[in-house]
Structure 1
Amino acid sequence: MIVSPARTPLQTSGNGKMNDWYAKPYCQCRKYKLCDCGEDHDVTEWNWEENRSNASWLVISQDRRQITFHPLYSSGTAVVRGDTPMLLNHQYYWEIKVLSQPYGTDIMVGVGTNKVNTSDDNFEFMSLLGKDAESYGLSYRGAVYHDAKVVFETVGFCRGTIVGVRLDMWMGTLEFYVNRKPLGVTFRGLRRHCQLFPMACSTAAQSSMKLTYAASWRASLLVHAAKILAASLSADLRRQIPPGLTYPFKSHFWLTLPSDGDTLNDDEEGEPMQAEPAVDISHELSEVLRSPNGYHVDTVSREYRVVLWQ
Protein backbone atom coordinates (compact mmCIF):
# COMPACT_ATOMS: atom_id res chain seq x y z
CA MET A 1 0.00 0.00 0.00
CA ILE A 2 1.26 3.46 -0.89
CA VAL A 3 0.34 6.35 1.35
CA SER A 4 1.01 9.85 0.08
CA PRO A 5 1.44 12.29 2.96
CA ALA A 6 -0.68 15.42 2.94
CA ARG A 7 1.92 17.70 1.44
CA THR A 8 1.61 20.64 -0.89
CA PRO A 9 3.61 20.45 -4.13
CA LEU A 10 6.39 22.92 -4.76
CA GLN A 11 4.80 26.35 -5.03
CA THR A 12 5.97 29.71 -6.24
CA SER A 13 5.05 33.09 -4.93
CA GLY A 14 3.52 35.87 -6.98
CA ASN A 15 6.91 37.11 -8.15
CA GLY A 16 7.77 33.69 -9.53
CA LYS A 17 10.33 32.87 -6.83
CA MET A 18 10.36 29.54 -5.05
CA ASN A 19 8.95 29.50 -1.53
CA ASP A 20 11.13 28.46 1.39
CA TRP A 21 10.97 24.76 0.60
CA TYR A 22 14.20 23.53 -0.87
CA ALA A 23 17.11 21.30 0.04
CA LYS A 24 19.17 22.59 2.94
CA PRO A 25 22.18 21.32 4.89
CA TYR A 26 21.81 20.23 8.49
CA CYS A 27 24.19 22.93 9.66
CA GLN A 28 26.00 25.97 8.33
CA CYS A 29 29.53 24.53 8.44
CA ARG A 30 31.60 25.53 5.44
CA LYS A 31 34.00 22.60 5.49
CA TYR A 32 31.66 19.64 5.07
CA LYS A 33 34.43 17.05 5.03
CA LEU A 34 35.46 18.12 8.54
CA CYS A 35 31.93 18.71 9.85
CA ASP A 36 30.69 16.35 12.54
CA CYS A 37 27.41 18.11 13.30
CA GLY A 38 24.60 15.67 13.97
CA GLU A 39 27.05 12.88 14.78
CA ASP A 40 26.56 13.02 18.53
CA HIS A 41 25.69 9.34 18.91
CA ASP A 42 28.28 6.78 17.88
CA VAL A 43 25.81 3.97 17.21
CA THR A 44 26.06 1.91 14.03
CA GLU A 45 24.52 -1.55 14.23
CA TRP A 46 25.32 -2.25 10.59
CA ASN A 47 27.70 -1.06 7.89
CA TRP A 48 27.87 -0.97 4.11
CA GLU A 49 28.43 -4.31 2.46
CA GLU A 50 31.63 -4.81 0.52
CA ASN A 51 31.12 -6.32 -2.92
CA ARG A 52 34.23 -7.22 -4.90
CA SER A 53 32.29 -7.23 -8.17
CA ASN A 54 31.60 -3.51 -7.70
CA ALA A 55 35.08 -2.58 -6.50
CA SER A 56 35.71 -0.24 -9.44
CA TRP A 57 32.37 1.52 -8.90
CA LEU A 58 32.50 1.93 -5.14
CA VAL A 59 35.14 2.87 -2.60
CA ILE A 60 34.20 2.01 0.99
CA SER A 61 36.15 3.36 3.94
CA GLN A 62 37.95 1.05 6.33
CA ASP A 63 35.21 1.30 8.94
CA ARG A 64 32.66 0.65 6.15
CA ARG A 65 30.62 3.73 7.01
CA GLN A 66 31.66 6.20 4.29
CA ILE A 67 31.20 5.40 0.64
CA THR A 68 32.30 7.11 -2.58
CA PHE A 69 30.49 6.27 -5.80
CA HIS A 70 32.39 6.27 -9.12
CA PRO A 71 35.77 7.39 -7.73
CA LEU A 72 37.20 8.17 -11.20
CA TYR A 73 34.35 8.64 -13.67
CA SER A 74 30.75 7.50 -14.05
CA SER A 75 29.28 5.40 -16.82
CA GLY A 76 26.12 4.22 -15.09
CA THR A 77 24.46 3.59 -11.73
CA ALA A 78 26.28 2.22 -8.69
CA VAL A 79 24.34 0.80 -5.76
CA VAL A 80 25.34 -0.35 -2.31
CA ARG A 81 23.38 -2.06 0.42
CA GLY A 82 23.78 -2.65 4.13
CA ASP A 83 25.30 -5.84 5.47
CA THR A 84 22.40 -6.58 7.84
CA PRO A 85 18.79 -7.38 6.86
CA MET A 86 15.87 -5.58 8.50
CA LEU A 87 13.60 -8.24 9.99
CA LEU A 88 9.93 -8.39 10.90
CA ASN A 89 8.76 -7.13 14.30
CA HIS A 90 11.66 -4.71 14.70
CA GLN A 91 11.93 -0.96 14.31
CA TYR A 92 14.91 0.61 12.54
CA TYR A 93 16.26 4.10 12.08
CA TRP A 94 19.44 5.24 10.36
CA GLU A 95 20.92 8.50 9.16
CA ILE A 96 23.13 9.27 6.19
CA LYS A 97 25.03 12.52 5.80
CA VAL A 98 25.53 13.71 2.23
CA LEU A 99 29.18 14.77 1.83
CA SER A 100 29.21 15.98 -1.79
CA GLN A 101 26.91 18.22 -3.79
CA PRO A 102 24.39 15.98 -5.65
CA TYR A 103 24.10 16.33 -9.41
CA GLY A 104 23.38 14.23 -12.45
CA THR A 105 20.62 11.72 -13.11
CA ASP A 106 20.06 10.71 -9.50
CA ILE A 107 21.42 10.05 -6.05
CA MET A 108 19.08 8.08 -3.82
CA VAL A 109 18.63 6.66 -0.32
CA GLY A 110 16.14 3.94 0.52
CA VAL A 111 15.49 0.24 1.07
CA GLY A 112 15.08 -2.86 -1.04
CA THR A 113 14.79 -6.62 -0.91
CA ASN A 114 17.56 -9.09 -1.71
CA LYS A 115 16.07 -9.35 -5.20
CA VAL A 116 17.43 -5.94 -6.15
CA ASN A 117 20.33 -6.54 -8.51
CA THR A 118 23.31 -4.42 -7.52
CA SER A 119 25.38 -4.95 -10.68
CA ASP A 120 23.18 -5.10 -13.81
CA ASP A 121 22.67 -1.33 -14.02
CA ASN A 122 26.32 -0.30 -13.89
CA PHE A 123 26.14 0.92 -17.49
CA GLU A 124 22.77 2.65 -17.35
CA PHE A 125 21.93 6.02 -15.80
CA MET A 126 18.70 5.67 -13.87
CA SER A 127 16.80 6.17 -10.61
CA LEU A 128 17.42 2.62 -9.46
CA LEU A 129 15.73 2.55 -6.06
CA GLY A 130 12.02 2.32 -6.73
CA LYS A 131 12.26 1.19 -10.34
CA ASP A 132 10.26 -1.94 -9.43
CA ALA A 133 8.18 -3.41 -6.60
CA GLU A 134 11.30 -4.62 -4.76
CA SER A 135 12.68 -1.24 -3.68
CA TYR A 136 11.76 2.19 -2.35
CA GLY A 137 13.88 5.31 -2.74
CA LEU A 138 14.12 9.04 -1.99
CA SER A 139 15.84 11.08 -4.70
CA TYR A 140 17.99 14.14 -4.06
CA ARG A 141 15.53 15.96 -6.33
CA GLY A 142 12.75 15.29 -3.81
CA ALA A 143 10.81 12.53 -5.58
CA VAL A 144 9.97 9.27 -3.79
CA TYR A 145 9.91 6.25 -6.12
CA HIS A 146 8.34 2.81 -5.93
CA ASP A 147 7.34 0.38 -8.65
CA ALA A 148 8.55 2.78 -11.37
CA LYS A 149 6.23 5.53 -10.13
CA VAL A 150 6.75 8.83 -8.36
CA VAL A 151 4.63 8.51 -5.24
CA PHE A 152 4.97 12.13 -4.19
CA GLU A 153 7.46 14.98 -4.24
CA THR A 154 8.94 16.72 -1.27
CA VAL A 155 12.09 18.55 -0.26
CA GLY A 156 15.23 16.85 -1.56
CA PHE A 157 18.71 16.86 -0.12
CA CYS A 158 22.02 18.57 -0.83
CA ARG A 159 25.57 18.55 0.51
CA GLY A 160 25.46 18.61 4.29
CA THR A 161 21.91 17.27 4.55
CA ILE A 162 21.19 14.45 7.00
CA VAL A 163 18.76 11.97 5.47
CA GLY A 164 16.97 9.73 7.96
CA VAL A 165 15.10 6.52 7.22
CA ARG A 166 12.63 5.02 9.68
CA LEU A 167 11.54 1.50 8.87
CA ASP A 168 8.95 -0.08 11.14
CA MET A 169 8.76 -3.79 10.35
CA TRP A 170 6.06 -4.28 13.00
CA MET A 171 3.60 -1.72 11.64
CA GLY A 172 4.95 -2.17 8.11
CA THR A 173 5.66 1.52 7.44
CA LEU A 174 8.47 3.48 5.82
CA GLU A 175 9.15 7.12 6.60
CA PHE A 176 11.89 9.49 5.43
CA TYR A 177 13.37 12.38 7.40
CA VAL A 178 15.39 15.37 6.18
CA ASN A 179 17.51 17.02 8.85
CA ARG A 180 15.46 15.08 11.44
CA LYS A 181 12.18 16.54 10.25
CA PRO A 182 9.63 13.92 9.13
CA LEU A 183 8.34 13.91 5.57
CA GLY A 184 5.39 11.73 6.55
CA VAL A 185 4.77 8.01 6.21
CA THR A 186 5.06 7.19 2.52
CA PHE A 187 4.45 3.45 2.45
CA ARG A 188 2.46 0.94 4.46
CA GLY A 189 2.07 -2.79 4.14
CA LEU A 190 5.80 -3.53 4.06
CA ARG A 191 5.29 -6.62 6.21
CA ARG A 192 4.78 -8.48 2.95
CA HIS A 193 8.59 -8.39 2.70
CA CYS A 194 10.22 -10.90 5.03
CA GLN A 195 13.30 -8.71 5.13
CA LEU A 196 14.60 -5.47 3.65
CA PHE A 197 18.07 -3.97 3.29
CA PRO A 198 19.16 -0.34 3.57
CA MET A 199 20.40 0.88 0.19
CA ALA A 200 21.87 3.87 -1.60
CA CYS A 201 22.71 4.51 -5.25
CA SER A 202 24.28 7.22 -7.38
CA THR A 203 25.06 8.08 -10.99
CA ALA A 204 27.32 11.03 -10.11
CA ALA A 205 31.09 10.70 -10.28
CA GLN A 206 32.93 11.10 -6.98
CA SER A 207 29.70 11.48 -5.01
CA SER A 208 30.04 10.58 -1.37
CA MET A 209 27.92 9.93 1.72
CA LYS A 210 28.45 8.64 5.23
CA LEU A 211 26.43 6.42 7.55
CA THR A 212 26.42 8.38 10.82
CA TYR A 213 23.83 6.51 12.87
CA ALA A 214 22.03 3.16 12.72
CA ALA A 215 19.98 1.69 15.55
CA SER A 216 17.09 -0.70 16.07
CA TRP A 217 14.76 -1.92 18.75
CA ARG A 218 12.46 -4.89 18.90
CA ALA A 219 8.85 -3.73 18.78
CA SER A 220 7.10 -4.01 22.12
CA LEU A 221 4.56 -2.27 24.30
CA LEU A 222 7.47 -0.85 26.29
CA VAL A 223 8.93 0.90 23.22
CA HIS A 224 5.53 2.20 22.16
CA ALA A 225 4.90 3.59 25.64
CA ALA A 226 8.34 5.23 25.68
CA LYS A 227 7.64 6.99 22.37
CA ILE A 228 4.30 8.28 23.60
CA LEU A 229 5.85 9.47 26.86
CA ALA A 230 8.65 11.34 25.08
CA ALA A 231 6.30 12.91 22.53
CA SER A 232 3.92 14.15 25.23
CA LEU A 233 6.55 15.99 27.24
CA SER A 234 7.75 19.53 26.66
CA ALA A 235 11.44 20.38 26.60
CA ASP A 236 11.30 21.52 30.24
CA LEU A 237 9.52 18.41 31.46
CA ARG A 238 11.96 16.14 29.65
CA ARG A 239 14.61 17.25 32.11
CA GLN A 240 12.52 15.64 34.85
CA ILE A 241 12.43 12.22 33.21
CA PRO A 242 13.59 9.50 35.63
CA PRO A 243 17.32 8.84 35.21
CA GLY A 244 16.62 5.28 34.15
CA LEU A 245 14.90 6.58 31.01
CA THR A 246 17.41 9.31 30.22
CA TYR A 247 20.05 7.04 28.72
CA PRO A 248 17.80 5.13 26.29
CA PHE A 249 16.11 8.35 25.17
CA LYS A 250 19.52 9.84 24.45
CA SER A 251 21.15 6.92 22.66
CA HIS A 252 17.92 6.02 20.85
CA PHE A 253 16.82 9.60 20.19
CA TRP A 254 14.93 8.51 17.09
CA LEU A 255 12.24 7.00 19.31
CA THR A 256 11.24 10.55 20.25
CA LEU A 257 11.22 11.96 16.71
CA PRO A 258 7.75 12.89 15.42
CA SER A 259 6.11 10.14 13.39
CA ASP A 260 2.60 9.44 12.12
CA GLY A 261 3.31 5.78 11.50
CA ASP A 262 2.27 4.51 14.93
CA THR A 263 -1.31 3.61 14.05
CA LEU A 264 -2.44 0.57 12.13
CA ASN A 265 -5.34 0.76 9.68
CA ASP A 266 -7.85 -2.07 9.69
CA ASP A 267 -7.60 -2.31 5.91
CA GLU A 268 -3.78 -2.36 5.81
CA GLU A 269 -2.44 -4.62 3.12
CA GLY A 270 0.22 -7.27 3.52
CA GLU A 271 0.64 -10.48 5.42
CA PRO A 272 -1.29 -10.79 8.71
CA MET A 273 0.70 -10.46 11.88
CA GLN A 274 1.52 -13.80 13.43
CA ALA A 275 1.54 -14.41 17.15
CA GLU A 276 4.91 -15.27 18.62
CA PRO A 277 5.68 -17.37 21.69
CA ALA A 278 6.02 -15.52 24.96
CA VAL A 279 9.53 -14.38 25.81
CA ASP A 280 11.23 -13.20 28.95
CA ILE A 281 11.32 -9.39 28.80
CA SER A 282 13.36 -8.86 31.95
CA HIS A 283 16.49 -8.14 29.93
CA GLU A 284 14.78 -5.50 27.80
CA LEU A 285 13.27 -3.83 30.86
CA SER A 286 16.59 -3.82 32.67
CA GLU A 287 18.29 -2.20 29.68
CA VAL A 288 15.72 0.59 29.46
CA LEU A 289 15.20 1.28 33.15
CA ARG A 290 18.66 0.77 34.54
CA SER A 291 20.36 3.54 36.48
CA PRO A 292 22.83 3.90 39.31
CA ASN A 293 20.87 6.93 40.58
CA GLY A 294 18.07 5.14 42.36
CA TYR A 295 15.72 3.76 39.72
CA HIS A 296 15.84 0.02 39.15
CA VAL A 297 13.77 -2.80 37.76
CA ASP A 298 12.84 -5.51 40.20
CA THR A 299 13.03 -9.16 39.17
CA VAL A 300 10.30 -9.64 36.58
CA SER A 301 7.78 -12.26 37.64
CA ARG A 302 5.15 -13.96 35.57
CA GLU A 303 2.98 -10.87 35.88
CA TYR A 304 5.86 -8.76 34.48
CA ARG A 305 5.87 -6.69 37.65
CA VAL A 306 7.94 -3.51 37.37
CA VAL A 307 8.87 -1.69 40.56
CA LEU A 308 10.52 1.71 40.67
CA TRP A 309 11.77 3.21 43.89
CA GLN A 310 14.05 5.95 45.10
Structure 2
Amino acid sequence: MQCPCLPQSISSGFVEEHWVWDVNAKSPAVQLSPCQRAVYFHIDPILQSEGTAGVRGTKGMDSESWGLSYKGTVWHCGQSRQYTEPFYEKATIIGVDLNLYDGTMAFYKNGLHLGVAFTGLNKVGVPLYPIVSSTAAETELELVMRSCRFLSLQEQCLYTVLQHLVDEVHIDTLPLPGFIRRQLKEF
Protein backbone atom coordinates (compact mmCIF):
# COMPACT_ATOMS: atom_id res chain seq x y z
CA MET A 1 0.00 0.00 0.00
CA GLN A 2 1.35 3.36 -0.95
CA CYS A 3 0.83 6.22 1.48
CA PRO A 4 -1.12 9.15 -0.03
CA CYS A 5 0.54 11.81 2.12
CA LEU A 6 1.83 14.26 -0.42
CA PRO A 7 1.07 17.89 0.46
CA GLN A 8 -1.16 19.81 -1.91
CA SER A 9 -1.06 23.46 -2.77
CA ILE A 10 -4.00 25.60 -1.76
CA SER A 11 -5.35 28.79 -3.29
CA SER A 12 -4.97 32.04 -1.43
CA GLY A 13 -7.46 32.49 1.38
CA PHE A 14 -7.92 28.78 2.07
CA VAL A 15 -6.66 26.88 5.09
CA GLU A 16 -5.53 23.28 4.71
CA GLU A 17 -6.12 20.72 7.41
CA HIS A 18 -4.80 17.17 7.46
CA TRP A 19 -7.22 14.52 8.62
CA VAL A 20 -6.26 11.01 9.64
CA TRP A 21 -8.24 7.90 10.47
CA ASP A 22 -8.48 7.05 14.16
CA VAL A 23 -6.30 3.96 14.70
CA ASN A 24 -8.08 3.25 18.01
CA ALA A 25 -11.58 3.28 16.51
CA LYS A 26 -11.46 0.66 13.79
CA SER A 27 -12.59 -2.92 13.42
CA PRO A 28 -10.09 -5.80 12.91
CA ALA A 29 -10.92 -6.13 9.19
CA VAL A 30 -9.63 -2.60 8.57
CA GLN A 31 -6.07 -1.73 7.61
CA LEU A 32 -4.70 1.82 7.67
CA SER A 33 -1.88 3.17 5.55
CA PRO A 34 1.32 4.11 7.43
CA CYS A 35 0.32 7.79 7.41
CA GLN A 36 -3.26 6.90 8.51
CA ARG A 37 -4.85 8.84 5.64
CA ALA A 38 -6.02 5.81 3.64
CA VAL A 39 -8.17 2.97 4.94
CA TYR A 40 -8.70 -0.44 3.35
CA PHE A 41 -11.66 -2.73 4.13
CA HIS A 42 -11.70 -6.54 3.73
CA ILE A 43 -8.54 -6.67 1.63
CA ASP A 44 -7.58 -10.30 2.29
CA PRO A 45 -8.21 -12.05 -1.07
CA ILE A 46 -8.66 -15.44 0.63
CA LEU A 47 -11.03 -14.56 3.46
CA GLN A 48 -14.54 -13.48 2.66
CA SER A 49 -16.11 -10.57 4.45
CA GLU A 50 -17.57 -11.73 7.75
CA GLY A 51 -19.52 -8.59 8.51
CA THR A 52 -19.04 -4.88 8.57
CA ALA A 53 -15.62 -3.31 8.77
CA GLY A 54 -15.56 0.25 9.92
CA VAL A 55 -13.76 3.24 11.29
CA ARG A 56 -16.00 5.34 13.56
CA GLY A 57 -19.09 4.36 11.60
CA THR A 58 -21.68 6.52 13.36
CA LYS A 59 -22.94 7.99 10.10
CA GLY A 60 -26.07 9.91 11.03
CA MET A 61 -27.08 7.66 13.89
CA ASP A 62 -27.33 10.47 16.44
CA SER A 63 -28.50 14.08 16.50
CA GLU A 64 -24.96 15.36 16.02
CA SER A 65 -24.08 13.51 12.83
CA TRP A 66 -25.17 13.73 9.22
CA GLY A 67 -23.87 11.26 6.66
CA LEU A 68 -23.99 9.70 3.21
CA SER A 69 -23.98 5.95 2.59
CA TYR A 70 -22.72 4.22 -0.57
CA LYS A 71 -26.33 3.03 -0.92
CA GLY A 72 -27.24 6.62 -1.85
CA THR A 73 -29.03 7.41 1.40
CA VAL A 74 -28.31 10.30 3.72
CA TRP A 75 -28.63 9.83 7.47
CA HIS A 76 -29.38 12.03 10.48
CA CYS A 77 -30.84 11.18 13.93
CA GLY A 78 -30.92 7.49 13.01
CA GLN A 79 -33.23 8.12 10.05
CA SER A 80 -32.38 7.84 6.38
CA ARG A 81 -33.81 9.09 3.12
CA GLN A 82 -32.88 8.44 -0.48
CA TYR A 83 -30.60 11.20 -1.77
CA THR A 84 -28.87 9.83 -4.87
CA GLU A 85 -28.29 6.64 -6.81
CA PRO A 86 -26.10 4.07 -5.01
CA PHE A 87 -22.42 4.18 -5.93
CA TYR A 88 -21.02 0.67 -6.23
CA GLU A 89 -18.45 1.39 -8.95
CA LYS A 90 -14.75 1.09 -8.19
CA ALA A 91 -12.75 4.32 -8.05
CA THR A 92 -15.80 6.43 -7.20
CA ILE A 93 -14.72 9.75 -5.72
CA ILE A 94 -17.06 11.33 -3.17
CA GLY A 95 -16.65 14.96 -2.18
CA VAL A 96 -18.23 16.66 0.81
CA ASP A 97 -19.05 20.38 0.85
CA LEU A 98 -19.89 21.64 4.32
CA ASN A 99 -20.83 25.31 4.03
CA LEU A 100 -21.30 26.73 7.50
CA TYR A 101 -22.15 30.21 6.20
CA ASP A 102 -25.24 28.92 4.40
CA GLY A 103 -25.70 26.01 6.82
CA THR A 104 -25.71 23.39 4.06
CA MET A 105 -23.99 20.11 3.32
CA ALA A 106 -23.80 18.81 -0.21
CA PHE A 107 -22.03 15.85 -1.76
CA TYR A 108 -20.27 15.31 -5.08
CA LYS A 109 -19.84 12.06 -6.98
CA ASN A 110 -16.89 12.05 -9.36
CA GLY A 111 -16.98 15.85 -9.44
CA LEU A 112 -20.75 16.06 -10.15
CA HIS A 113 -22.73 18.10 -7.59
CA LEU A 114 -25.54 15.93 -6.20
CA GLY A 115 -27.46 18.79 -4.60
CA VAL A 116 -27.88 19.95 -1.03
CA ALA A 117 -28.37 17.03 1.35
CA PHE A 118 -28.81 18.91 4.64
CA THR A 119 -29.71 22.46 5.70
CA GLY A 120 -29.69 24.38 8.98
CA LEU A 121 -26.21 23.19 9.94
CA ASN A 122 -25.06 26.72 10.80
CA LYS A 123 -27.41 26.59 13.81
CA VAL A 124 -26.15 23.29 15.26
CA GLY A 125 -23.65 24.77 17.72
CA VAL A 126 -21.29 21.77 17.90
CA PRO A 127 -18.32 20.75 15.73
CA LEU A 128 -19.31 18.91 12.54
CA TYR A 129 -17.34 16.12 10.84
CA PRO A 130 -18.57 15.10 7.37
CA ILE A 131 -18.14 11.39 6.57
CA VAL A 132 -18.82 8.94 3.76
CA SER A 133 -19.60 5.34 4.65
CA SER A 134 -19.19 2.06 2.83
CA THR A 135 -19.68 -1.50 4.05
CA ALA A 136 -18.99 -3.04 0.63
CA ALA A 137 -16.18 -5.58 0.40
CA GLU A 138 -12.83 -4.34 -0.95
CA THR A 139 -13.76 -0.72 -0.33
CA GLU A 140 -10.90 1.76 -0.18
CA LEU A 141 -11.40 5.21 1.29
CA GLU A 142 -8.79 7.93 1.24
CA LEU A 143 -8.78 11.31 2.94
CA VAL A 144 -7.17 13.54 0.37
CA MET A 145 -7.56 17.10 1.52
CA ARG A 146 -9.77 19.30 3.58
CA SER A 147 -9.74 23.02 3.17
CA CYS A 148 -11.85 25.93 4.15
CA ARG A 149 -11.79 29.56 3.19
CA PHE A 150 -12.44 32.09 5.88
CA LEU A 151 -14.37 35.15 4.82
CA SER A 152 -12.64 38.46 5.23
CA LEU A 153 -14.27 41.04 7.49
CA GLN A 154 -15.49 42.87 4.39
CA GLU A 155 -17.04 39.67 2.98
CA GLN A 156 -18.66 38.90 6.34
CA CYS A 157 -20.22 42.37 6.38
CA LEU A 158 -21.50 42.00 2.80
CA TYR A 159 -22.89 38.57 3.63
CA THR A 160 -24.66 39.89 6.75
CA VAL A 161 -26.25 42.79 4.86
CA LEU A 162 -27.47 40.45 2.11
CA GLN A 163 -28.93 38.04 4.68
CA HIS A 164 -31.11 40.83 6.07
CA LEU A 165 -32.44 42.03 2.74
CA VAL A 166 -35.86 40.80 1.71
CA ASP A 167 -34.93 41.12 -1.96
CA GLU A 168 -31.67 42.07 -3.66
CA VAL A 169 -33.54 44.66 -5.77
CA HIS A 170 -33.51 46.83 -2.62
CA ILE A 171 -29.71 47.16 -2.67
CA ASP A 172 -29.93 50.48 -4.51
CA THR A 173 -32.19 51.92 -1.80
CA LEU A 174 -29.66 51.30 0.99
CA PRO A 175 -28.03 54.46 2.43
CA LEU A 176 -24.54 53.22 1.48
CA PRO A 177 -21.81 54.56 -0.80
CA GLY A 178 -22.15 53.46 -4.43
CA PHE A 179 -19.04 51.25 -4.40
CA ILE A 180 -20.43 49.22 -1.47
CA ARG A 181 -23.78 48.78 -3.25
CA ARG A 182 -21.85 47.53 -6.32
CA GLN A 183 -19.94 45.04 -4.14
CA LEU A 184 -23.21 43.80 -2.64
CA LYS A 185 -24.56 43.16 -6.15
CA GLU A 186 -21.41 41.27 -7.14
CA PHE A 187 -21.09 39.25 -3.93
Which category describes the TM-score, using the shorter chain as reference length? Answer: 0.5 to 0.7
Contact 1:78/1:201, CA 8 A, preserved across alignment: no
Q: Structure 1 residue 61 and structure 2 residue 33: aligned?
A: yes
What is the DSSP-based 3-state SS (H/G/I as helix, E as strand, rest coil) of the residue aligned with 2:148? strand
Which of 37, 45, 68 aligns to 1:138? It is: 68
Aligned-residue sequence identity (percent) comes to 33
Q: Structure 1 residue 197 and structure 2 residue 134: aligned?
A: no
CA RMSD of aligned residues (A): 3.5
Which of 141, 149, 170 aligns to 1:217? It is: 149
Sort the Cα spacing of 1:195 and 1:147 in 2 relative to 1 into closer, same or farther, 3 A: same
**Aligned mates of 2:115, 2:147 — CA distance in 1:** 20
Equivalent in the alignment of 2:96: 165
The number of aligned residues is 147
What is the DSSP-based 3-state SS (H/G/I as helix, E as strand, rest coil) of the residue aligned with 1:131? coil
Contact 1:70/1:205, CA 8 A, preserved across alignment: yes
Per the TM alignment, residue 61 of structure 1 is displaced from its structure 2 partner at its CA by 1.0
What is the DSSP-based 3-state SS (H/G/I as helix, E as strand, rest coil) of the residue aligned with 2:145? strand
**Aligned mates of 1:156, 1:66 — CA distance in 2:** 22
Superposition pairs of residues 192-271 of structure 1, within 5 angstroms:
192-220=124-152
What is the DSSP-based 3-state SS (H/G/I as helix, E as strand, rest coil) of the residue aligned with 1:185? strand
5+ residue gaps, structure 1? 1-32, 81-117, 122-127, 225-262, 267-310
Superposition pairs of residues 70-89 of structure 1, within 5 angstroms:
70-72=42-44, 73-80=48-55
Per the TM alignment, residue 202 of structure 1 is displaced from its structure 2 partner at its CA by 3.3
Per the TM alignment, residue 55 of structure 1 is displaced from its structure 2 partner at its CA by 6.0
Q: Structure 1 residue 52 and structure 2 residue 27: aligned?
A: no
Equivalent in the alignment of 1:188: 119
**Aligned mates of 2:23, 2:60 — CA distance in 1:** 21
5+ residue gaps, structure 2? 11-15, 157-161, 166-187
